[in-house]
């Protein structure tokens, strides 16, 4: 199997992974960048430029603040922000103390926050000021939180921005009596001067929420080495060089966005242009003004840009590499050729296959041997098997089965969930719950999910999580959700709801959709609601979601 998986390995890429500065945590790469290239541009945020010396000093000052608040190695600190320089500074400030970064999607509402904060026993939260009220509303229900830090994104804007600003970057600054201001923290603290020893492959540096194979979100524990390994593998496999100018738009709270916007700049020491969110015209302007050479995108972003009238007249010729993820819209050869024509040469292809439990990027695409429809070939030091779900045997080329992965980035398990860990992580192998196949050239093809997770706009939506949030409504007796095809999102959520008898006919399906939007992130709130008299279930009461997916389902 190993020979098959390496059959199409690019001749110009060594099969031995090397680390630019050795096997060290990425926050030490930041510090070394400040020593080696103190005045070199690290991040640009709508025209506000930060050099490596400034980034490193800010990281140290934030680490010192955390230490003064009693944060110690192994403590969980959550980041609840849009993309901004404060996110990167806080991320590495936490890790410089040996802390654990817990990314929280800024779309989360109160009920979601309450569950996730308590699940990870979060000690503190660093949040955008516009999100503060959500935290305030759950403080009495989240006793682990000792303190909150808030920030105004505009604190890191220049007097005259070079790009159009999204609304969140135009808010007037707010200060709150029971939270610390990020900007003031950096002005009032000296740099952290101690050194915390990190066991690269055993100390946990990141906890990301994922479903595993089933259930509500669980905290997957990733050691510091996971980020280093996958970042080094992405750089070497995709043949990025030391002169790259990266564009980072994907959410930093998402594992793939984190690799591009947080990890890769630290690892390479290259310039990164950071945007808070995607806007087609702003993205075009950024590529033109800053001569961007590399971009990780979601395919609908590329489609939106291609559909802008007069796009052929814009100068996107600096762009050389565009790794893209197919969420709802596949990366086809036709689309890639259109992109190549508009950019006059940029190579676009599927980014990779990966999951949170492996710190993503388990495959990469050989640039000179692109195979459309595939996820590429397994990356460095990665073993991959396709297991026949009926026989348990290793599948032959072309045969579908469960994707099972093993590499140095594999997670250590789910926090406080030994049963779920044992189900997913077996003898170092991650049983993904995804269906795939490997062809005769060693390329991986993704065919779907065994698990009932829904993929909406690139985000993982866990049915049990949405159901738990829906069931907080006083009129709901029972609920079940499934994913339904959506041209824009890939999948959208549809909820089947059984109302309590006294409320039948007193609330509409449309009202339930509106209520759900107010209670949960937009990508997971049900787009469709259907009332049923009862849900299909086994004799033991387990809801059979698969029956809700049947096109000729009859109400029972």
pLDDT in tens, the chain (556 residues): 778 878 899 999 999 999 999 999 999 999 999 999 999 999 999 999 999 999 999 999 999 999 999 999 999 999 999 999 999 999 999 999 999 999 999 999 999 999 999 999 999 999 999 999 999 999 999 999 999 999 999 999 999 999 999 999 999 999 999 999 999 999 999 999 999 999 999 999 999 998 655 568 899 999 999 999 999 999 999 999 999 999 999 999 999 999 999 999 999 999 999 999 999 999 999 999 999 999 999 888 998 999 999 999 999 999 999 999 876 567 889 999 999 999 999 999 999 999 999 999 999 999 999 999 999 999 999 999 999 987 899 999 999 899 999 999 999 999 999 999 999 999 999 999 888 999 999 999 988 777 677 888 888 787 878 888 998 899 998 899 999 998 888 899 999 999 988 899 999 999 999 999 999 999 999 999 999 998 887 544 567 787 888 654 544 3
- C-beta of residue 447 within 8 angstroms of C-beta of residue 437: yes
* Residues 82/83/86/91 CA torsion (nearest 10 deg): 100
Burial class (CB in 10 A: 0-12, 13-18, 19+), 480: buried
Comma-separated ranges of CATH 3.40.50.980 domains in the chain: 52-197
Residues with Cβ < 8 Å from 222, sequence gap 6 or more? 204, 205, 206, 207, 208, 359, 409, 411, 412
Pick from 358, 366, 365: nearest CA to 384: 358
Supply the angle between the helices 85-96 and 52-68 in degrees, to the nearest 10: 60
Residue 414 DSSP one-character state: B
- For domain 52-197, which CATH number applies: 3.40.50.980, 3.40.50.11540, 3.30.365.10, 3.20.20.70? 3.40.50.980
- C-beta of residue 528 within 8 angstroms of C-beta of residue 492: yes
State residue 328's pLDDT score.
Answer: 52
Q: Report the C-alpha gap between 359 and 364 in whole angstroms.
A: 14
Comma-separated ranges of CATH 3.30.300.30 domains in the chain: 454-549
CA distances from 17 to 22, 201, 230, 237, 463 (A): 11, 16, 10, 9, 38
CATH number of 454-549: 3.30.300.30
Q: Report the C-alpha gap between 371 and 437 in whole angstroms.
A: 14
- What is the Cα 212 distance to its own chain's centre? 15
- Give the three-class secondary structure for 102: strand
Burial class (CB in 10 A: 0-12, 13-18, 19+), 452: buried
State residue 532's pLDDT score.
Answer: 94
- C-beta of residue 482 within 8 angstroms of C-beta of residue 452: yes
């Amino acid at each position: 199997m190993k020979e098959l998986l390496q059959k199409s390995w690019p001749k110009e890429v060594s099969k031995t992974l090397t680390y630019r500065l050795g096997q060290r945590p990425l926050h030490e790469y930041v510090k070394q960048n400040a020593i080696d290239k103190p005045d070199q541009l690290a991040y640009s945020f709508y025209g506000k430029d930060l050099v490596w010396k400034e980034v490193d000093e800010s990281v140290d000052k934030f680490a010192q603040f955390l230490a003064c608040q009693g944060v110690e190695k192994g403590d969980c600190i959550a980041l609840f922000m849009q993309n901004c320089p404060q996110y990167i500074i806080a991320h590495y400030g936490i890790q410089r103390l040996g802390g654990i970064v817990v990314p929280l999607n800024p779309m989360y509402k109160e009920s979601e926050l309450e569950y996730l904060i308590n699940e990870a026993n979060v000690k503190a939260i660093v949040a955008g000021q516009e999100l503060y009220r959500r935290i305030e509303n759950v403080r009495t229900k989240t006793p682990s939180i000792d303190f909150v830090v808030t920030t105004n994104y505009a604190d890191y804007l220049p007097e005259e921005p070079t790009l159009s600003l999204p609304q969140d970057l135009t808010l007037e600054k707010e200060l709150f009596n029971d939270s610390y201001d990020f900007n003031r923290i950096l002005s009032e603290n000296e740099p952290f001067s101690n050194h915390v020893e990190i066991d690269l492959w055993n100390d946990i540096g990141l906890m990301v929420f994922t479903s595993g194979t089933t259930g509500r979100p669980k905290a997957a524990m990733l050691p510091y080495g996971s980020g280093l390994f996958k970042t080094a593998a992405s750089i070497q496999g995709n043949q990025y060089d030391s002169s790259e100018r990266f564009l980072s738009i994907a959410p930093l709270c998402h594992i793939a966005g984190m690799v591009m916007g947080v990890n890769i700049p630290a690892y390479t020491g290259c310039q990164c242009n950071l945007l808070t969110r995607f806007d087609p015209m702003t993205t075009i302007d950024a590529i033109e003004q800053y001569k961007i050479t590399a971009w990780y995108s979601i395919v609908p972003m590329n489609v939106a840009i291609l559909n802008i009238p007069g796009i052929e007249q814009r100068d996107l010729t600096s762009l050389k590499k565009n790794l893209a993820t197919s969420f709802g819209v596949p990366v086809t050869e036709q689309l890639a050729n259109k992109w190549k024509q508009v950019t006059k040469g940029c190579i676009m292809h599927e980014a990779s296959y990966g999951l949170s439990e492996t710190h993503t990027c388990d495959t990469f695409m050989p640039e000179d041997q692109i195979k459309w429809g595939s996820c590429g070939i397994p990356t460095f030091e990665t073993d991959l098997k396709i297991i026949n779900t009926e026989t348990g045997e290793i599948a032959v080329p072309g045969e579908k089965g469960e994707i099972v992965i093993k590499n140095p980035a594999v997670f250590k398990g789910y926090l406080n969930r030994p049963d779920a860990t044992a189900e997913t992580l077996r003898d170092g192998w991650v049983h993904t719950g995804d269906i795939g196949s490997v062809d005769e050239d060693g390329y991986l093809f993704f065919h779907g999910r065994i698990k009932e997770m829904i993929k909406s706009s690139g985000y993982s939506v866990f049915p049990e999580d949405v159901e738990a949030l829906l069931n907080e409504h006083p009129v709901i007796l029972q609920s079940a959700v499934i994913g339904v095809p959506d041209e824009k999102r890939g999948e959208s959520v549809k909820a089947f709801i059984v109302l309590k008898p006294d409320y039948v006919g007193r609330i509409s399906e449309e009202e339930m959709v509106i209520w759900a939007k107010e209670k949960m992130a937009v990508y997971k709130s049900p787009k469709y609601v259907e009332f049923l008299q009862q849900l299909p279930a086994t004799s033991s009461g387990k809801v059979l979601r698969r029956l809700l997916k049947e096109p000729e389902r009859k109400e029972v």
